[in-house]
Amino acid sequence: MRRKIAAGNWKMNGLAASLSELEQLASALPPHAPEVIICPPAPLLFRASETARGSAIHIGAQDCHMQDSGAFTGDISAQMIADTGATHVIVGHSERRAAHEERDRDIRSKAKAAWAAKLTAIICIGEALEDREADNTLDIIAGQLAGSLPDGMTATNSVIAYEPIWAIGTGKVPTLEQIVEVHDFIRTKLTIRYGAEIADMIPLLYGGSVKPDNAATIFQAENVDGALVGGASLKSADFAPIIMALAQS
C-alpha cells in the first residue's frame, strides 16, 4: 500500500520564530498520521531538523544543485542538505523552472544528486494555463516525465508532485476529474517505464491551492496519495486539517 504524504513548501517565508509552528504541528498530528514533510528556507534547515527531531515530521529543502561542490555561489548541494539532518528535497518546482530557467535535464540531474546524498527527491511537474486551455496538458506532462525522471526511480528515493502552474497560489483548483485524469496518466507512464511493481508504490502528490476546505475532495482520487502545499503549510492551524483529511481518506 502506497504511503500517504503531506508536504509543506514554505517557499521564501519564515524566520527562526516560525519554527514554533513545527512544534505545534507535531503536537496536533493524529496517532496514525500520514508522512509529514516541511520544506523551510535553506537558512532554517538545520534548526528545523533539530526542532523536528523525535517527532513524526521530516524536513526537506526546496532545491539543490546538481553538483556536490564547486564554484556555485549561493547554491546548496544535496550533500549539504543531508548534513543538516534533512531527508527530502524538492526539485523542479515550477517557480524554479520559470524564474531560473531550469530545464527537464537539470531536474533529472538534481534528482540524481539527491539520491546520491540519500535524500528523497520530490520531483515537480505541471502545465501552464495556456497549455491547459490548448488541451496540451497530457503532452506537457508526458514530456516532463520523460525528461525530468532519472532511470532507477523507486518509491524510496522519489515522490512526484503534480502542480498545475495556473493553480499555484491563485485560489483556482482543477476539477476533481481533471486531477484524476492527470494522476492516472502519470501512473500509467510510470508503469510503462519502471514496471507495475515499482510504479504502483511511487507516491503521487497534488499541489495547487490546496486548502482545508477542498483537501478532502481532492484526496478522493485513487491516484492522489497526498499533497504538496504552499501557503496553507505556513501555519499549523491551516496545515493540520489538511493532514487530518489525508489521514481519513
Domains of the chain, each with CATH number or no CATH: 5-247 (3.20.20.70)
What pLDDT score does 170 carry? 85
Rounded to whole angstroms, how far apart are CA atoms 69 and 77? 7
Band (pLDDT 50/70/90 cuts) for residue 32 is: confident
Strand ranges inside the chain, DSSP E: 5-9, 35-39, 57-61, 88-91, 120-125, 158-162, 204-206, 226-229
How many angstroms from the chain centroid is the CA of residue 48?
Answer: 17
Quote the cell numbers at residue 92: 523542479
Rounded average pLDDT over 189-206: 98
Average pLDDT, the chain: 96
Q: Exposure of 178 by Cβ count < 10 A (0-12 exposed, 13-18 middle, 19+ buried)?
A: middle
Band (pLDDT 50/70/90 cuts) for residue 20 is: very high
> 3-class DSSP state for residue 232?
helix
> 3-class DSSP state for residue 77?
strand
- Active-site residues, by number, are 93, 163
Rounded to whole angstroms, how far apart are CA atoms 69 and 76? 8
Rounded average pLDDT over 166-193: 94
Check residue 70 and report its DSSP letter.
S
> 3-class DSSP state for residue 65?
strand
Predicted TM-score (pTM) of the model is 0.97
Q: pLDDT digit string (tens) for 97-142?
A: 999 999 999 999 999 999 999 999 999 999 999 999 999 999 999 9
CB atoms within 10 A of CB 185: 17
Q: Which residue has the cell 502542480?
A: 163
Q: Are 21 and 236 in contact (CB under 8 A)?
A: yes
Q: Which residue has the cell 532511470?
A: 151
Using alpha carbons only, how large is the chain's radius of gyration in Å?
17
Rounded average pLDDT over 44-60: 97
Quote the cell numbers at residue 34: 500520514
Quote the cell numbers at residue 76: 546548496
Residue 5 clears pLDDT 90, i.e. is over it: yes
Rounded to whole angstroms, how far apart are CA atoms 161 and 11? 15
Q: Are 1 and 35 in contact (CB under 8 A)?
A: no
Q: What proportion of the chain, given as a percentage, has pLDDT over 70?
A: 100
Minimal CA–CA distance to 247: which of 60, 35, 73, 99? 35
Q: pLDDT digit string (tens) for 198-239?
A: 999 999 999 999 999 999 999 999 999 999 999 999 999 999
Rounded to whole angstroms, how far apart are CA atoms 200 and 202? 6
